[in-house]
Chain A
């Protein structure tokens, strides 16, 4: 909203400067901008209202009334856990990779290679998620089976690689990898943008003090881009949390809360669970699914708030 106010103020200033009357173009522009801003808010409120009103019957129903015979919290908790686990896993894989790609493009690669590579990374964003899902089950999953067997044998003492390793490759680890590839273009686009804007003065100053290329990057580029990388990562996390089709197709969802990333028994995610169960549901079961959607909405909201807090704090320093 504040940006709208400044536009209006700027418009008024201009109008005053040019003889006191606001010109028609300004009026139309400021009105359009206000309408656009209000529409976004109204949409958000509308979606929230829909989720609450349709989810309420399931939220207020007792455990025995609900289709699964368990309370709403018991039903949604493993789903929320699975959602966050998949999202965090994707972030852990994608963010370092995206930062590395962005650094390579902006600071290391020769111009021509940088342009081509940037183009291809952006192209990843244009692939529909169902294609990622199919790629996951037909290519990445089977290819990951021997790797997961190896992880189970050698690193089985770490709880996340406890196994028994899946024989089909439809595991949380594969989902995390696919989601990481999906959010890579978003995160790397933001990182690339900000890294290329690192002030020349700073970089040249560091070089003048005898810093190597890595030291220049570490002391000037990375600190300068930190908050943008975080917000880019949050954008990516938002997509990973809400990703539906790829997860629904790939993941073998038959378990509850478990950190085991390579077994056939994985917690489902909220979005995938809705996609899988909505077609055959009726009555209160639909309300229940929509109520889980409300929980996803809350999770996304919370991540955004946390991201803002982190960015605000790092800006102060």
Chain B
């Protein structure tokens, strides 16, 4: 009974959204025809030359919220008749709202999978069109620490896993000293700081730990931190605040938010990698696409991130967030708007804007090409 009421509310919301889109339609007919010609001269690349209009709503990942807000502001500047909104309700909420039809597109820190049957439901939601899912936001996750006087800290993945598993308890432990010759490590107690809220950052970080140190990190990969007893703080800002407040604390957080805190160098192969945008973007070039998540669809690009890479100049602790949409929408106007917005977000200009505003790593040229092809499937 309650679910039917939910449906009714959602239906009402849909009608409202569609109604508003239709209201904007009076002056958007010209926009649509322009859009038609636009797809022809699109080979020029990048931003759409013709304006689109209408109103769409998106929801999802808070990680890419800053980037989404910047894209929307720029996109609306370029397209006077377009109104977009992005509600950072969290990846799970975004996927749920997308599947139920509440929003036109979603942002998610993890690709849609069959674990909770979400992939199947999303494919169904897009019928008769197809599901579109492309990575649009890559961000390095930094290991931040608070040790006054220690300028550089090198951590082996195995040691990193032991620290976060609370197996290494003091900073002057021989396992840490071994990789940091000449560094005066204090005897301070190590306080690992984790997220207290469920998050994509945690999911990506635990995925990394379980891949590179499977013997130490035996916990399941999940958005909820699996180890009890550590210091827990809510949100990226909470983790940064907790690490800053406590001497001896170490945490993981979006690299762009690390501020003054020290960022540990992580061993990759035989080199020490630091969390930089280029090093993060390279990981996806080395990663394979996951056939189980893509299910043979050309418009879905989902990676099995190569955390175990040994290549130099690569930083494998990254968060990859995706845009989720459909190839077909109820109206051509809506589809044109979604397409134009996706194209802008993944374009070199859009990626550069996200780098400036949110500190993300721009998609590599090779990946951009692939993603453009997938987004091009929107009609």
Contact = CB atoms under 8 A, between A and B. Distances in A.
Interface of A: 50, 53-54, 68, 137-138, 141-142, 164, 166-170, 248-249, 251-256, 264-265, 268, 276-283, 285
Interface of B: 1-2, 62, 89-93, 95-96, 116, 118, 189, 191, 193-194, 196-200, 223-225, 227-234, 238, 241-242, 245-249
Contact of A282 (B93, B189, B199, B230): B93
Given A276-B197, A282-B92, A255 B228 contact: yes
B198 A249 contact: no
Contact of B245 (A50, A142, A256, A285): A142
A282 B121 CA distance: 13
Given A280-B93, A280-B199, A264 B231 contact: yes
Contacts of A268: 196
Q: Which secondary structure dominates where chain A touches chain B?
A: loop
Nearest to A276: B197
B241 A252 contact: no
Q: Which residue, of A141, A169, A280, A281, has the highest number of chain B Cβ atoms within 10 A?
A: A280
Given A167-B231, A168-B245, 6 more contacts: A168-B246, A170-B231, A248-B234, A249-B238, A255-B229, A282-B116
B47 to A, nearest CB: 32
Contacts, number: 108
B368 to A, nearest CB: 28
A168 B92 contact: no
Contact of B232 (A54, A167, A252): A252
B231 to A, nearest CB: 4
B96 A279 contact: no
Given A164-B189, A279-B92, A280-B90, A254 B229 contact: yes
13 contacts: A164-B189, A167-B191, A168-B233, A170-B233, A252-B231, A252-B233, A276-B196, A277-B224, A279-B89, A279-B90, A279-B93, A280-B92, A280-B223
B228 A277 contact: no
A264 B191 contact: yes
B198 A280 contact: yes
Given A50-B2, A53-B2, A254 B93 contact: no
Contacts of A168: 191, 193, 231, 233, 242, 245-246, 249
A264 B197 contact: no
Given A170-B233, A254-B229, A254-B231, A279 B62 contact: yes
**Can you list the 9 inter-chain pairs with the closest CB atoms, starting with the nearest?**
A279-B90, A167-B246, A280-B198, A276-B197, A168-B246, A254-B232, A280-B92, A264-B231, A282-B92
A142 B241 CA distance: 11
A138 B245 CA distance: 9
